[in-house]
Structure 1
Amino acid sequence: MTLLDIRNLTVTFATRRGAFTAVDGVDVAVDRNEVLAIVGESGSGKSVAMLAAMGLLPKTATVTADRMNFDGLDLMALSADRRRRLAGKDMAMIFQEPMTSLNPCFTVGFQIGETLSAHLGLARKARAARVVELLAEVGIPDPARRARAYPHQLSGGMSQRVMIAMALACRPKLLIADEPTTALDVTIQAQILDLLLRLRRENGMGLVLITHDMGVVAETADRVIVQYAGQQVEASPTRALFADPHHPYTAALLAALPERATERRLPAIPGVVPGQFDRPAGCLFSPRCAFAFSACHRIAPRRAGPELGAALCHTPLAAGVPQPGALQEAGA
């Protein structure tokens, strides 16, 4: 059975100048012991989609979905209290900035202990022992001493490991890691990723990895979802996506990898991800797309079949060559 199953997720935020759709019709499915990567530029709605699944969005957000199930539970039907008890225990999240996610006023041991107290009801002595055990598990040396340290006394890599320990405290069934290696040096990045994969194997949990680093995706993920401007533009097994991308945005992301560059200067995607007030008509990627034709600027694309990576494109790429889409065949 699929651990996390979300269909047609939409997240809209109320603003003074009207509603803004940050996530538009996204599907997410994660099995037990599977690594799913969600990639895309900043502003693609990656974090918002997963925060919606966790129930951590502010009151200004409106979340709708055809289906949002976790381990057989309908998340949309659960009470707020039941969602709070689920988040942090069976579903856990490693947030993007460990230095700002940890409370500077309390020791890291106290903060991890709060999770154990709230969800497992452990007594003080049992909590202290479990905190030391968790810090040792994530590779922090001298864990008993580090448990008494404050966040400002730890390096970025240490803080990230503390966040991982906190997320894993209750042995969750699903772990969402939001940019877990941002702002860390390459050596620490590799250690953190190895740690997440090892703990995933040992605990049999599902892992959702939110990232913009395609190199990390290639090394760790079983499947990949590519998002752009809140929309899911492609979804495919990792090996297939790297070998034969079907959406022009995916192809452009892969072309920007240094190991794939054929010129001295790395290729770049012109322009920026559209925001609330500059969203184009038709395909949202059309102003930046090298393969766009007239219909792309006027008509929203339909999703292709799974054999073409479920690409949201009028002309899904096949073996790197744009193919005639349904609109072209109909004379659009």
Structure 2
Amino acid sequence: MPLLEIRNLTVEFQTASGRFRAVDSMDFEVGTGDMLAIVGESGSGKSVAMLALMGLLPWTATVTADRMAFAGRDLLTISKRERRDIVGKEIAMIFQEPMTSLNPCFTIGFQIQESLRVHLGLDRKERRARALELLREVGIPEPERRLSAFPHQLSGGMSQRAMIAMALACRPKLLIADEPSTALDVTIQAQILDLLVALQRDTGMALVLITHDMGVVAETAERVVVQYAGQQVERQSVYGLFEDPHHPYTAALLAALPERATGRHLPSIPGVVPGQGDRPACCLFNPRCRFATDLCRTVVPPRAGGEFGEALCHYPLDHGRPTGHPDPDGSLAAAPEETNA
């Protein structure tokens, strides 16, 4: 039995102009000790899906799923009290921006020790000892002094480490890291990612890494889910994804990586990600896809079946060539645009 199982997860928000589907039919599993990356552009539904799992979405959101279970417990039917017992203890999340996620009114020590008091019932002396142990574990120097520091007194890297310490306080079985290195400089980014990988290896917890950086995916994850405009368009092992991407969007993302670019120009994907009012019919990627045909514009692509069942596409790629395409060379549409590198 997987530690986390999500089937057909959909999240819709009520807006002034109607309902907007931010996550559309997401499916994946995470086993104990797994490292899964969810990758996609900003607005592709990565964070919203995990906030739905945590129960942290506003009242305007409607969450539906065929199944959303953690360690065999149905997260769709449990009470709010039961969810509070799980969230923060067995499932923890590192939020995207530590400078806004940490409470500016309380010290770092208080915020780390709060979950120890609520979930583990430790007394004051035990909480302090555990908080110091956590700060040392995440590499914060002078932990005794940092316990009494407020968030504004820490650097971005230190704040992120404090957030990681808070998330790890109760030794969760599943850790969700929402772009943990986005606001940090390159050196600190590498340190934070190395820290997460080391902690995951040492504790045996499962790790879900949300990112838009394909380089981070290549270095840290074992399996990857690719999101586009709220839809899960591909799911593969990391090696398989980089070696042979099956969805045209994934292939275009990888082709745009500077280290893969050839020639004088950097490839780019023409067009823009669809928003609430301009979502195309059937395949959401069809206006930007070089392999799109009338079938892509009139029939919803299949979600499963055959060798390339993990790709949401009528013509999944096999080493760069569309399978079953009426034109094997894929010349029915323009090639991806190029921009100056």
SS at match of 2:26: strand
**What are the within-5 Å matches in structure 2 for residues 161-180 of structure 1?**
161-180=161-180
1:295 Cα shift?
2.1
Equivalents in 2 of 1:57, 1:289: separation in Å?
32
Q: Partner residue of 1:221?
A: 221
Whether the 8 Å contact between 2:9 and 2:23 is mirrored in structure 1 is yes
Q: Partner residue of 1:61?
A: 61
Are the structure 2 counterparts of residues 145 and 51 from structure 1 closer, same or farther at C-alpha, using a change threshold of 3 Å?
Answer: same
Q: State the one-letter code of the partner of 2:301.
A: P
Whether the 8 Å contact between 2:34 and 2:207 is mirrored in structure 1 is yes
| Cα offsets for 1:279-313 (capped at 9, x unmatched) | 01121011111211122222221124363151111
Q: Partner residue of 2:95?
A: 95
Aligned length: 327
Whether the 8 Å contact between 1:304 and 1:316 is mirrored in structure 2 is no
Equivalents in 1 of 2:190, 2:305: separation in Å?
35
Equivalents in 2 of 1:318, 1:123: separation in Å?
59
1:97 Cα shift?
0.5
1:145 Cα shift?
0.4
SS at match of 1:308: coil
Matched, 1:137 2:168: no
Q: Partner residue of 1:127?
A: 127
Unaligned runs of at least 5 residues, structure 2: 329-341
Are the structure 2 counterparts of residues 325 and 117 from structure 1 closer, same or farther at C-alpha, using a change threshold of 3 Å?
Answer: farther
Q: State the one-letter code of the partner of 1:181.
A: S
Equivalents in 2 of 1:6, 1:306: separation in Å?
22
Are the structure 2 counterparts of residues 306 and 22 from structure 1 closer, same or farther at C-alpha, using a change threshold of 3 Å?
Answer: farther
Q: Partner residue of 2:319?
A: 319
Matched-pair identity in % = 72
Greater displacement, 286-295 / 204-213: 286-295
Matched, 1:186 2:186: yes
Unaligned runs of at least 5 residues, structure 1: none
SS at match of 2:209: strand
Q: Partner residue of 1:47?
A: 47
Equivalents in 2 of 1:76, 1:230: separation in Å?
20
Equivalents in 2 of 1:206, 1:191: separation in Å?
19
Q: Partner residue of 1:290?
A: 290
Q: Partner residue of 2:264?
A: 264
Equivalents in 2 of 1:289, 1:127: separation in Å?
54
Are the structure 2 counterparts of residues 81 and 325 from structure 1 closer, same or farther at C-alpha, using a change threshold of 3 Å?
Answer: farther
Equivalents in 1 of 2:46, 2:259: separation in Å?
25
- List 4+ stretches of structure 1 deviating above 6 A: none
Equivalents in 1 of 2:239, 2:309: separation in Å?
12
**What are the within-5 Å matches in structure 2 for residues 174-253 of structure 1?**
174-253=174-253
Q: State the one-letter code of the partner of 1:118.
A: V
SS at match of 1:275: coil
Greater displacement, 122-131 / 20-29: 122-131
Q: State the one-letter code of the partner of 2:267.
A: P
TM-score (norm 2): 0.93
1:324 Cα shift?
1.2
Greater displacement, 183-192 / 33-42: 183-192
CA RMSD of aligned residues (A): 1.4
1:263 Cα shift?
2.3
Q: Partner residue of 1:308?
A: 308
Equivalents in 2 of 1:146, 1:309: separation in Å?
50
SS at match of 1:20: strand
SS at match of 2:197: helix
Matched, 1:156 2:156: yes
Q: State the one-letter code of the partner of 1:293.
A: T
Q: State the one-letter code of the partner of 1:248.
A: P
Equivalents in 2 of 1:273, 1:145: separation in Å?
46
Whether the 8 Å contact between 1:305 and 1:311 is mirrored in structure 2 is no
Are the structure 2 counterparts of residues 212 and 306 from structure 1 closer, same or farther at C-alpha, using a change threshold of 3 Å?
Answer: farther
TM-score (norm 1): 0.96
1:264 Cα shift?
2.5
Q: State the one-letter code of the partner of 2:18.
A: G
Equivalents in 1 of 2:90, 2:272: separation in Å?
37
Equivalents in 2 of 1:303, 1:63: separation in Å?
20
| Cα offsets for 1:26-46 (capped at 9, x unmatched) | 002101111000000011100
| Cα offsets for 1:6-45 (capped at 9, x unmatched) | 1010111111211111111100210111100000001110
SS at match of 1:266: strand
Equivalents in 2 of 1:271, 1:153: separation in Å?
43
Q: State the one-letter code of the partner of 2:282.
A: G
Whether the 8 Å contact between 1:236 and 1:309 is mirrored in structure 2 is no
SS at match of 1:14: strand
Whether the 8 Å contact between 2:96 and 2:179 is mirrored in structure 1 is yes
